[in-house]
């Protein structure tokens, strides 16, 4: 038995040129909402832990450090999975690669919800992390195959809202499920749903335009860059990684900046709800709504960052990322230093953190894809994601340990410092443009 259906599909016979504009319009719309829905579904089985944490700690008598280990293990495995599956994703059929990853991650999440001890929980959360890493690469490949450089920031920003849509839904749904049916329901119920919708992805998605008899997006948009010749000539995984990714200093700067972005992002996702409950006296339902506000404002922040980078900076992503990281600093301070009894300011502060952290988080992927070229887009975004998810490792166990030892002030002090360091990394890419392979 062969698995040719899992590989990137070869070019089909060209269709009638008169049909190309209509076909492109149809398939670009279908691919955009298919990838959007698909990635949102991954979030339904990724973010339950932050809402379920208080009940999980109480039920199984777990410490903050142990909860942090779940987050850290997830980040370590997910980041490595993004690197490995990123290289595979440049050679894979988007249609099946994404759907299989979602269905396997769903099974892991169901078994997590059925577990009763620390190590089984850790193992199944680790499996979830690995299969979650099959979600991003097909999105990076699909967006670079179906949307050209001049419009990529805007459409990537639209797609990136899938993070927040999935996050908002699960924050509210998990809060309801935990409050009414216990913490296990927050994992099992969403996972059953996402497993079944894996078949929907198989129905909706397709591979690159050429597999449907369409010209490349660059040819269709009259933006030929030479990437087509590279892709058609073929290249090894090693060449893709070392020549087009690791030799690019701008990609390194973006990747290190992503580490600091992820410390702040997952620091908020992992600990904000618990902080609101312990320090601000919030109930689980109101705290989860504020967590949903973090995701909702992130949606706006990501889209605005992509639009600004396309329209005002002509495809340069570095300036927007740097500016957002600067404004992220006072947003963190507002959420951290706002005294108890000011729930509106808590909501505003956490929402602003979401707005300004999700802008750079989204642009990291666009930057990596632009700088490496579409033939290495999944590999480049996998590499930046791999390094970035070391930030999640630190945001989990590291921040949890710091809070155990030095209190919440120590944890938020570290998050503020990471925003400053992230700004410095993105500022180093201020003049980077698509196609820059040297500094």
* DSSP of 40-76: HHHHHTTSHHHHHHHHHHHHHT--HHHHHHHHHHHHH
Please state, in angstroms and rounded to a whole number, the distance separating the CA atoms of residues 131 and 136: 10
Cα 91 to chain centroid distance, Å, stands at 21
Q: Which of 379, 6, 308 is nearest to 157 (CA)?
A: 308
Name the β-bridge partners of 92: 7
DSSP string, 122-170: HHHHHHHHHHHTTTHHHHHHHHHHHS-HHHHHHHHHHHHHHHHHHHHHH
Beta carbons within 8 Å of 194's beta carbon, 6+ residues apart: 41, 42, 44, 45, 102, 103, 105, 106, 109
- Quote the pLDDT of residue 439: 40
Beta carbons within 8 Å of 144's beta carbon, 6+ residues apart: 152, 369, 374, 377
Please state, in angstroms and rounded to a whole number, the distance separating the CA atoms of residues 396 and 72: 5
Q: How many CA atoms lie within 13 A of 320 on its CB side?
A: 31
Is the Cβ–Cβ distance between 208 and 52 less than 8 Å?
Answer: no
Reduced to 3 states, what is the DSSP secondary structure of residue 7?
Answer: strand
Beta carbons within 8 Å of 167's beta carbon, 6+ residues apart: 43, 47, 292, 294, 295, 298
Q: Domains in the chain, ordered, with CATH? A: 20-208+237-427 (1.20.1250.20)
Please state, in angstroms and rounded to a whole number, the distance separating the CA atoms of residues 50 and 288: 9
Tens of each residue's pLDDT in the chain, 439 residues = 456 777 888 889 999 999 999 999 999 999 999 999 999 999 999 988 888 988 999 999 888 778 888 877 887 888 889 888 888 887 889 999 999 999 999 999 999 999 989 999 999 999 999 999 999 889 989 998 999 888 888 898 899 888 778 988 998 899 899 999 999 999 999 999 999 999 999 999 999 999 999 999 989 988 766 555 445 445 556 666 666 677 788 889 999 999 999 999 989 888 888 889 888 888 877 888 888 888 889 889 988 998 898 888 887 899 999 999 999 999 999 999 988 888 889 889 999 999 999 999 989 988 888 887 767 777 788 888 888 878 877 888 889 889 989 999 999 999 999 999 999 999 999 887 765 554 4
- The single-letter DSSP state of residue 92 is B
- Quote the pLDDT of residue 438: 45
Please state, in angstroms and rounded to a whole number, the distance separating the CA atoms of residues 419 and 326: 7
Q: Which two tokens stand for residue 81?
A: 């999975």
- Quote the pLDDT of residue 69: 85
Is the Cβ–Cβ distance between 303 and 342 less than 8 Å?
Answer: no
Q: How many CA atoms lie within 13 A of 157 on its CB side?
A: 25
Q: Which of 130, 82, 98, 105 is nearest to 31 (CA)?
A: 98
Reduced to 3 states, what is the DSSP secondary structure of residue 438?
Answer: coil
């Amino acid at each position: 038995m062969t698995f040719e259906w899992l590989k990137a599909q070869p070019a089909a016979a060209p269709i009638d040129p008169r049909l190309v504009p209509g076909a492109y319009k149809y398939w670009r719309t279908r691919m955009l909402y298919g990838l959007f829905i698909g990635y949102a579904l991954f979030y339904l089985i990724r973010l339950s832990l932050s809402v379920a944490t208080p009940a999980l700690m109480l039920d199984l008598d777990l410490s903050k450090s142990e909860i942090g280990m779940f987050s850290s293990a997830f980040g370590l495995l997910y980041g490595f999975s993004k690197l490995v599956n990123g290289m595979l994703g440049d050679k894979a059929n988007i249609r099946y690669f994404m759907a299989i990853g979602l269905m396997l991650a769903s099974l892991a999440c169901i078994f997590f919800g059925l577990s009763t001890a620390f190590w089984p929980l850790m193992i199944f959360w680790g499996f979830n992390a690995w299969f979650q890493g099959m979600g991003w690469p097909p999105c990076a490949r699909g967006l670079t195959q179906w949307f050209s450089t001049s419009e990529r920031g805007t459409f990537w920003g639209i797609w990136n809202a899938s993070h927040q849509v999935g996050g908002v839904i699960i924050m509210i749904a998990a809060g309801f499920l935990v409050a009414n049916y216990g913490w296990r329901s927050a994992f099992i119920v969403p996972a059953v749903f996402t497993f079944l919708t894996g078949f929907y992805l198989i129905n909706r998605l397709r591979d690159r335009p050429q597999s449907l008899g369409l010209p490349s997006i660059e040819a269709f948009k009259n933006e030929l860059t030479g990437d087509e010749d590279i892709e058609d000539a073929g290249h090894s995984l090693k060449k893709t990684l070392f020549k087009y990714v690791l030799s690019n200093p701008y990609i390194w700067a973006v990747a290190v900046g992503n580490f600091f972005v992820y410390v702040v992002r997952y620091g908020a996702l992992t600990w904000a709800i618990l902080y609101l409950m312990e320090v601000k006296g919030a109930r689980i339902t109101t705290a989860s709504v504020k967590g949903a506000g973090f995701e909702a404002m992130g949606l706006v922040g990501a889209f605005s960052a992509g639009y600004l980078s396309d329209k005002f900076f002509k495809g340069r992503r570095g300036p927007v990322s740097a500016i957002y990281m600067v404004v992220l600093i006072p947003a963190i301070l507002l959420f951290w230093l706002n005294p108890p009894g000011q729930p509106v300011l808590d909501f505003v502060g956490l929402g602003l953190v979401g707005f300004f952290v999700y802008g750079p988080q989204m642009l990291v992927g666009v930057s990596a894809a632009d700088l490496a070229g579409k033939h290495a887009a999944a590999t480049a975004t996998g590499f930046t994601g791999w390094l970035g998810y070391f930030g999640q490792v630190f945001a989990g166990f590291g921040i949890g340990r710091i809070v155990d030892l030095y209190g919440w002030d120590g944890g938020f002090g570290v998050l503020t410092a990471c925003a400053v360091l992230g700004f410095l990394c993105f500022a180093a890419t201020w003049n980077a443009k698509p196609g820059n392979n040297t500094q």
